[in-house]
Amino acid sequence: MAYCTQTDLQKQLPPALVVQLTDDDADGAADSGVVADAIAKADDEINGYAAKRYTVPFSPVPDLIRALSVDLAIGNLYARRGLEKDSVNKRYERAVRLLKGLMDGTVSVGESPGPAEAAVGGPAVPVDVAADNREITK
């Protein structure tokens, strides 16, 4: 499941601009495949950062993750055309800063991190501390 949709992008960009950024076959319509690719790349970047602390992919998608996906996908659309726009670059850079914050724990998506850290060595195993009757020694 993608973290954002073409409709989410179109809420941030005028329809004519979406066409300009995606219409590779010059038919005058936005190419949904190009949009989907830009979103998939954005989501892969999000997952790359977030997987350090959260179980990915996110489901349901937190609002912050949806917003980051939109900003990164728009940046991807501009980049594929070789276009530079200061406001787009700033949004992209802000999104990356927030993703780095997710990774290092200074930013939260509003939910507890999942078992991503424990999954590195295998599945997380619940521990019943009360049933552990070993003595603690100093």
pLDDT in tens, 70-100: 999 999 999 999 998 999 999 999 999 999 9
Angle between helices 63-80 and 86-104 (to 10 degrees): 140
Residue 114: the pLDDT is: 53
Does the structure show a pLDDT above 80 at 129?
no
Q: pLDDT category, 123, cuts 50, 70, 90?
A: very low
What the block records as the tokens of 67 is 């917003």
Q: State the average pLDDT over residues 17-44.
A: 96
